[in-house]
Amino acid sequence: MSEEKSLNFIEEIIENDLNSGKYSSIITRFPPEPNGYLHIGHSKSICLNFGLALKYGGSTNLRFDDTNPVTEDTEYVESIKDDIKWLGFNWTNEYYASDYFDQLYEYAVILINKGLAYVDDSSSEEIAQLKGTPTEPGKDSIYRSRSIEENLQLFNEMKEGKFKDGEKVLRAKIDMAHTNMLMRDPIIYRIKHAHHHRTGDKWCIYPMYDFAHGQSDSIEKITHSICTLEFIPHRELYDWLIEHLNIFPSHQYEFARLNMTYTVMSKRKLLQLVTEGHVSGWDDPRMPTISGFRRKGYTALSIRNFCEKIGVAKRENLIDLSLLEFCLREDLNITAKRVMAVLDPVKLIITNYEENKTEYLNSENGPDESLGSRSIPFSKELWIEREDFMEVPAKKWFRLAPGAIVRLKSAYIVKCESFEKDASGNVSCIHCSYIPESKSGQDSSGITVKGTIHWVSVAHAETAEVRLYDRLFKVENPSAEEGDFKEYINPDSLHIIEKAYIEPSLKNAAMEERFQFIRKGYFCLDKDSNEDKLIFNRTVTLKDTWTKMKD
RNA sequence: UGGGUUAUGGUGUAACGGUAGCACUACAGAUUUUGAUUCUGUCUGUCUAGGUUCGAAUCCUGGUAACCCAACCA
């Protein structure tokens, strides 16, 4: 018997609804507002909504919640669709709240006719004033008692553009003393003489979120409308509107949004990072956006697995970035092609190796045989990593040092005979002798070494720019710190290596390929690359127990 | 000082009155032509005080803490 995976609370609700016959199938929706790029937090919602429909044989709509024309744009619509597809999900229908503007207007008229909505001429300050506070009840507006006829006429005039922005609003007539602030006669329509990215200039009044979302769910017959915790207080209004409009009863359920260490997740903050130039754009590889992770080299599978592992519950959480990185490495480890690249080079000369000779050595592309193998040029002069040589070796040092032996990956065992330093005291060249019988794959030397290092032949090396990324913030939870979150930006989150030496096979790297630069981490080509210049992003480092040991 | 939501190892998440489990992290060891991977093991937990019960993370009562709600944002 396989172990039964426990259900999260939403799955339990759905199974109950299905078993009780309340629904025969489910419909979910993913409802982004097109006013920014999707981030890793959205991927939790996407995986949940699409995943549920997949699991229970239902369908999922993509619905853009585009009720505020001043913040929204088609650029965002396109990026959102692109990111969802990249994540691996397909929506059943593509809808827009703006598709329902006519219907929503009719709903508002119904409410007015029932005496459940009125036009208020108060300013926003006055409305706020009369709203009261969480501990004090609000007071009725003097416009609250307008007749149905007058409300009908005024609302129509609002639609006709007779008034300026802010002059009037339409409010639901509920209860100004309600303990839930959202039920104190919420505004449901406001005037905005603004161009909408889809409806153009057809409308100058736009429904508020609360008057659009639930009804849109209802129109689409969404069975389970899943959103984040901060919408809990809205549920009462959501249900109130559905009840008084007497429309299909969609139900709202709330789960805790994803928070992750060393980053921020609010669109407002992410927008700030972009507009103030702290990052190069929404898809900067340091951003927690889906496009940022994607550009950095993350795989869709790793993000989906991550969303699966973090679970769904109602309590506030702060997930360790290391769990995401674990999911990433788990995937990349089996799919990434192993190659060699030297990021911080120092020259190694094999004193007893023939001048001008080139040997082509076979090297496996990865631990899994299906990845195949390739041949790599080897010659007398090689680039190796500067950090792989220590003039005075540390305790338990496995790598190169005066007199020490080490294997050159897929090649020979070498012994360090001497080294040179330049005028400023830096090691400039290392002289080694090699052991011809130790050739990789046909080693008859009988020598065992503790360390294996990577290398690139000087004469055959190609060059590339390599971009190394570190966490964007210095602290685990920048939003919870004192003062402005931007004070906690990590000043060293980007390190550019102008000229790294890479093995020649990398010259043919493709955009979608993933590589492991042996011992250095996982890398992929950046979109800034061109034929003359290769640029690699470090997706994530390898786990490194050695540097930890030293501390 | 109102209403709502939530409290399980360092971090997440299970256990639905009957052995507190799983994953990540951390640490230790084995293997390794990547100090990676893989494998083995270890550490750490039911917010608190009472109560009900043969038995409580779970039920009851009282505290405490965190988060959300007073945009013509979503």
Residue A15, Cβ neighbours under 10 Å: how many?
13
Residue A108, Cβ neighbours under 10 Å: how many?
25
R_g of chain A, CA atoms, integer Å: 31
Q: Does the pLDDT of residue A489 top 50, yes or no?
A: yes
Lowest mean pLDDT among A169-183, A204-218, A367-381: A367-381
Cα–Cα distance, A54 to A28 (Å, whole number): 10
The reply to whether A4 falls in a domain is no
Q: Does the pLDDT of residue A357 top 90, yes or no?
A: yes
Instruction: Using the structure, give the distance in angstroms from the CA atom of A213 to the C1' atom of B5, rounded to a whole number.
Output: 21
Q: What 3-state class would DSSP assign to A500? A: strand
**Same-domain check for residues A316 and A349:** no
Residue A101, Cβ neighbours under 10 Å: how many?
21
Nearest nucleotide (C1') to the CA of residue A396? B35
Q: Determine which one of A267, A294, A295, A399 is catalytic.
A: A267
Cα–Cα distance, A109 to A114 (Å, whole number): 9
- Residue pLDDT, tens place only, A436-475: 999 999 999 999 999 999 999 999 999 999 999 999 999 9
- Residue pLDDT, tens place only, A184-195: 999 999 999 999
pLDDT of residue A1: 31
**Same-domain check for residues A470 and A332:** yes
Residue A530: give its domain's CATH number: 2.40.240.10
**Same-domain check for residues A103 and A167:** yes
In the block, residue with structure tokens 């011992």? A519
pLDDT of residue A184: 98
Phi-psi map region of A489: left, alpha, beta (phi>0 left; psi -120 to 50 alpha): beta
Residue type, A24: S
pLDDT of residue A3: 46
Boundary (domain end) residue, out of A454, A482, A506 = A454
Q: Determine which one of A139, A198, A257, A347 is catalytic.
A: A257
The reply to whether A31 falls in a domain is yes
Q: What 3-state class would DSSP assign to A169? A: strand
Point out the residue nearest to B4 (C-alpha to C1').
Answer: A233
Length of chain A (residues): 551
The Cα-based distances of A501 to A102, A292, A465, A524 in angstroms read: 62, 26, 9, 15
Cα–Cα distance, A247 to A241 (Å, whole number): 9
Cα–Cα distance, A462 to A454 (Å, whole number): 15
Q: What is the mean pLDDT of residues A474-484?
A: 94
Instruction: Using the structure, give the distance in angstroms from the CA atom of A228 to the C1' atom of B44, rounded to a whole number.
Output: 31
- Token pair of A470, please? 């570190």
Helices (H) and strands (E) in chain A, counts: 13, 25
The nucleotides of chain B lying under 7 Å from a protein CB are 1-8, 10-16, 23-27, 33-38, 66-74
Enter the DSSP assignment of A450: S
Boundary (domain end) residue, out of A222, A255, A288 = A255
Nearest nucleotide (C1') to the CA of residue A123? B72
Residue A370, Cβ neighbours under 10 Å: how many?
8
Helical (H) or strand (E) element with A358: none
Enter the DSSP assignment of A251: E
Q: Does the pLDDT of residue A332 top 50, yes or no?
A: yes
Helical (H) or strand (E) element with A148: helix A148-159
**Same-domain check for residues A476 and A505:** yes
**Same-domain check for residues A329 and A296:** yes
**Same-domain check for residues A187 and A303:** no
pLDDT of residue A2: 37
- Residue pLDDT, tens place only, A92-118: 999 999 999 999 999 999 999 999 999
Listed in sequence order, the DSSP H helices in A288-384 are 290-296, 300-310, 321-335
Domain range for A81: 9-255
Say which residues have a Cβ less than 8 Å from residue A51's Cβ, sequence separation at least 6. Answer: A307, A308
Strand order in the sheet with A169-172: A117-120, A169-172, A187-191, A205-207
Cα–Cα distance, A257 to A234 (Å, whole number): 16
CA atoms within 13 A on the CB side of A537: 27
The reply to whether A459 falls in a domain is no
Q: Does the annotation mark A33 as catalytic? A: yes
The reply to whether A226 falls in a domain is yes
Cα A432 to chain center, whole Å?
46
- Residue pLDDT, tens place only, A12-70: 999 999 999 999 999 999 999 999 999 999 999 999 999 999 999 999 999 999 999 99
- Token pair of A176, please? 């100004």
- Residue pLDDT, tens place only, A66-86: 999 999 999 999 999 999 999
**Same-domain check for residues A230 and A290:** no
Nearest nucleotide (C1') to the CA of residue A310? B12
Nearest nucleotide (C1') to the CA of residue A231? B68
Residue A549's pLDDT band (cuts 50, 70, 90):
confident
Q: How many separate domains does chain A show?
A: 3
Cα–Cα distance, A84 to A171 (Å, whole number): 35
Instruction: Using the structure, give the distance in angstroms from the CA atom of A230 to the C1' atom of B55, rounded to a whole number.
Output: 39
Instruction: Give me the percent of chain A exceeding a pLDDT of 70.
Output: 99
**Same-domain check for residues A297 and A379:** no
Residue-wise DSSP of A192-221: ----BTTTBTS-SEEE-HHHHHHHHHHHTT
The residues facing A502 across adjacent strands are A341, A462
Instruction: Using the structure, give the distance in angstroms from the CA atom of A312 to the C1' atom of B45, rounded to a whole number.
Output: 20
Residue A4's pLDDT band (cuts 50, 70, 90):
low
The Cα-based distances of A170 to A115, A161, A176, A239, A340 in angstroms read: 12, 14, 15, 19, 66
**Same-domain check for residues A352 and A500:** no
Q: Does the annotation mark A267 as catalytic? A: yes
* Biggest CA-to-CA distance, chain A: 101
Instruction: Using the structure, give the distance in angstroms from the CA atom of A519 to the C1' atom of B11, rounded to a whole number.
Output: 27
Cα–Cα distance, A537 to A283 (Å, whole number): 13
Q: Does the annotation mark A257 as catalytic? A: yes
The reply to whether A223 falls in a domain is yes
Enter the DSSP assignment of A177: T
Residue A286, Cβ neighbours under 10 Å: how many?
24
Mean pLDDT over each residue of chain A, to the nearest integer: 97
Residue A72: give its domain's CATH number: 3.40.50.620
Instruction: Using the structure, give the distance in angstroms from the CA atom of A74 to the C1' atom of B62, rounded to a whole number.
Output: 55
The reply to whether A261 falls in a domain is no
The reply to whether A531 falls in a domain is yes
Boundary (domain end) residue, out of A454, A473, A497 = A454
**Same-domain check for residues A240 and A272:** no
The reply to whether A100 falls in a domain is yes
Q: At A260, phi and psi to the nearest 5?
A: -135, 150
Instruction: Using the structure, give the distance in angstroms from the CA atom of A414 to the C1' atom of B74, rounded to a whole number.
Output: 63
Nearest nucleotide (C1') to the CA of residue A544? B35
Cα–Cα distance, A220 to A103 (Å, whole number): 12
The residues facing A177 across adjacent strands are none
Task: State pTM to two decimals.
Answer: 0.96
How do strand A515-517 and strand A169-172 relate by DSSP bridges?
unpaired
The residues facing A345 across adjacent strands are A385
**Same-domain check for residues A130 and A215:** yes
**Same-domain check for residues A304 and A251:** no
Cα–Cα distance, A333 to A394 (Å, whole number): 29
Listed in sequence order, the DSSP H helices in A455-514 are none
Q: Which of A349, A348, A378 is nearest to A361 (CA)?
A: A378
pLDDT of residue A370: 87
pLDDT of residue A550: 76
How do strand A515-517 and strand A337-339 relate by DSSP bridges?
parallel
Nearest nucleotide (C1') to the CA of residue A324? B24
Q: At A321, phi and psi to the nearest 5?
A: -55, -30
Residue type, A367: P
Contact yes or no for A401/A390 (Cβ under 8 A): yes
Instruction: Using the structure, give the distance in angstroms from the CA atom of A477 to the C1' atom of B64, rounded to a whole number.
Output: 24
Q: Determine which one of A11, A33, A325, A513 is catalytic.
A: A33
CA atoms within 13 A on the CB side of A452: 11
